[in-house]
């Protein structure tokens, strides 16, 4: 009995997702259709499109997948609150350290490239 209720719920969720897709497609089609009709300025068309997209998102959020997305977002927000952010001094010190290391590694790679180029020129006789 419970499996039948879940199947009906899943089918209803698919119908709601399809309905929201139809809303969005109709909204975009209406946006371009009403561009030719006098009196429908760009502002009205954009506001109508945003309203239709909000309705579609609202319909999707009533599905199981939508509830899972909302739950994930709320849990992520709680986890971000638990993060211990570095101080300004730590951030500046780490950034300068990264810049310094990038410069040193770049210099070492340049020296290696220059040394290999010099060695190859000497071996092939192109440097003379």
pLDDT tens for each residue of 38-61: 888 889 999 999 999 999 999 999
Q: Please check whether residues 60 and 33 belong to one and the same domain.
A: yes
Q: How confident is the model at residue 6 (pLDDT cuts 50, 70, 90)?
A: low
Q: Please check whether residues 74 and 16 belong to one and the same domain.
A: yes
Q: Please check whether residues 22 and 78 belong to one and the same domain.
A: yes
Q: Write a three-state SS string for the chain.
A: CHHHHHHHHHHHHHHHHHHHHHHHHHHHHHHHHCCCCCCCCHHHHHHHHHHHHHHHHHHHHCCHHHHHHHHHHHHHHHHHHHCCCCCHHHHHHHHHHHHHHHHHHHHHHHHHHHHHHHHHHHHHCCCC
**Domain end marker among 82, 97, 114:** 82
| Number of compact structural domains in the chain | 2
Q: Please check whether residues 34 and 67 belong to one and the same domain.
A: yes
Q: Please check whether residues 49 and 62 belong to one and the same domain.
A: yes
The parent domain of residue 96 ranges over 85-128
Q: Please check whether residues 99 and 116 belong to one and the same domain.
A: yes
Q: How confident is the model at residue 10 (pLDDT cuts 50, 70, 90)?
A: confident
pLDDT of residue 39: 81
pLDDT tens for each residue of 15-32: 999 999 999 999 999 999
Q: Please check whether residues 118 and 57 belong to one and the same domain.
A: no
Q: Please check whether residues 92 and 78 belong to one and the same domain.
A: no
Please, which residues have CB within 8 angstroms of residue 17's CB and are 6 or more apart in sequence? 59, 60, 63, 65
Q: Please check whether residues 69 and 98 belong to one and the same domain.
A: no
How many CA within 13 A on the CB side of residue 35?
9
Q: How confident is the model at residue 110 (pLDDT cuts 50, 70, 90)?
A: very high
What is this structure's pTM? 0.57
CB-CB contact of 21 with 49 (8 Å): no
């Amino acid at each position: 009995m419970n499996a039948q209720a879940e199947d009906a719920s899943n089918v209803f969720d698919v119908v709601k997702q399809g309905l929201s897709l139809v809303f969005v497609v109709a909204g975009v089609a209406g946006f371009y259709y009403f561009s030719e009709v006098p009196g429908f300025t760009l502002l009205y068309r954009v506001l109508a499109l945003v309203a239709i997209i909000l309705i579609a998102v609202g319909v999707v959020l009533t599905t199981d997948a939508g509830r899972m997305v909302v739950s994930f977002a709320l849990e992520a927000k709680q986890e971000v609150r638990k993060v211990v952010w570095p101080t300004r001094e730590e951030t500046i010190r780490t950034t300068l350290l990264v810049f310094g290391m990038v410069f040193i590694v770049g210099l070492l790679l340049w020296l290696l490239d220059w040394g290999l180029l010099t060695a190859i020129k000497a071996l092939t006789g192109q440097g003379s």
